[in-house]
Structure 1
Amino acid sequence: MNDLTQIVDALRKRGNKVTPQRLTTIEVLLSMGQQHFSVEELFQGVKQRNLDVGMSTIYRTVQILEEMGFITKRNFDDGFARYELCELDEKHWHHHIICLKCGKVIEMQDDFLETLEKEIEEKKEFIIINHELKVYGYCSDCYKIMKGEKFD
């Protein structure tokens, strides 16, 4: 997990300003943990701290942190860009299960594609850097409502 000092040091080393507004933005982002967040949700969290911060500051900070590899953009096909903190020592990102009814996103830490990756690398002489898997369906709560029965 990234911490505030690591991010601030990297920003300064890169030549980016670390203003009070940017610092608060990073603190709020870190407090969100592994939650998937939109820029608007991050903005609301920063505004709760009563800072004079504009949406452009939030967008620019998110862009810089994404470029630096501290956060990554996710698309869950719901029309919104979402972001999450990166684990820089992970070989692959985790996978996501997405409910088509309520939009709930469940993270899967298991990497079910390792065997497939090895096969692709050997048979196709292709070096895989990363992959992303999204599985769509219905969470148990929505399934219960839709079917009027328990999901087992």
Structure 2
Amino acid sequence: MDTKNKMINIQNCMHEAGFKLTPQRHAIVKVLLDHHQEHLSAEEIYVELLRVSAAFGLATVYRTLDILTSLNLLTRVSFEDGVARYDLRTEDPAHFHHHLVCTQCGKTVEIHEDLLGDVEKVVLRQYHFQVSDHRLTFLGLCQDCQNSNLLESG
């Protein structure tokens, strides 16, 4: 799905929940869409907005992120650095994608396959717990860091 259609879907979801996609909210969502692979923090989103216009306040960014999170359009994630970062849910809203995080360089890679469907069934069957969502982060070394470490030790 292209950026325009994603924006329309987000606008429709917000409208159905009684929220308008104001110009400020539109700009925030655009930054999230343009940088979806980067998992930006609220402050990083704010800095990107200031590149376009000085008419934004950090409080507006936080309020919009809270609205998008409450509507399940956005997920707050935290990696090794402990900073709250945001990830637009542009695929299947029923499940969040997973992450590979390099503990050496901090690179983050998204896995879009749902790897835990069978685990959810076991959780339901054995623990009588209905899973609504899950998040999985694998920590380790990316290929670049592995190669770099081999060169340094060799």
TM-score range, shorter chain: 0.7 to 0.9
1:103 aligns with 106
Whether 1:54 aligns to 2:57 is: yes
Whether 1:113 aligns to 2:111 is: no
1:67–1:103 distance in 2 versus 1, CA, 3 Å: same
Q: Which residue type is aligned with residue 77 of structure 1? A: E
Q: Which runs of 5+ in 1 are unaligned?
A: none
TM-score, normalized by length of structure 2? 0.81
Task: Look up the SS of the partner of 1:148 in the other structure.
Answer: helix
Whose helix proportion is higher, 1 or 2?
2
TM-score, normalized by length of structure 1? 0.82
Choose the corresponding residue for 1:81, options 81, 84, 109. 84
2:75 aligns with 72
RMSD of Structure 2 on Structure 1 (CA): 2.4
2:128 aligns with 125
Task: Spell out structure 1 runs of 4+ moving beyond 6 A.
Answer: none
Q: Deviations over 1:120-150 (max 9, x none)?
A: 222222222222111111111112222327x
Aligned-partner Cα distance in 1 for 2:20–2:119? 43
- The answer to whether the Cα contact below 8 Å between 2:6 and 2:90 also exists between their aligned partners in 1 is no
Choose the corresponding residue for 2:26, options 12, 23, 27. 23
Q: CA deviation at 1:99?
A: 0.5
1:119–1:23 distance in 2 versus 1, CA, 3 Å: closer
1:94–1:5 distance in 2 versus 1, CA, 3 Å: closer
Q: CA deviation at 1:116?
A: 2.3
Q: CA deviation at 1:62?
A: 0.9
2:42 aligns with 39
Paired-residue identity, %: 36
Aligned-partner Cα distance in 2 for 1:36–1:126? 30
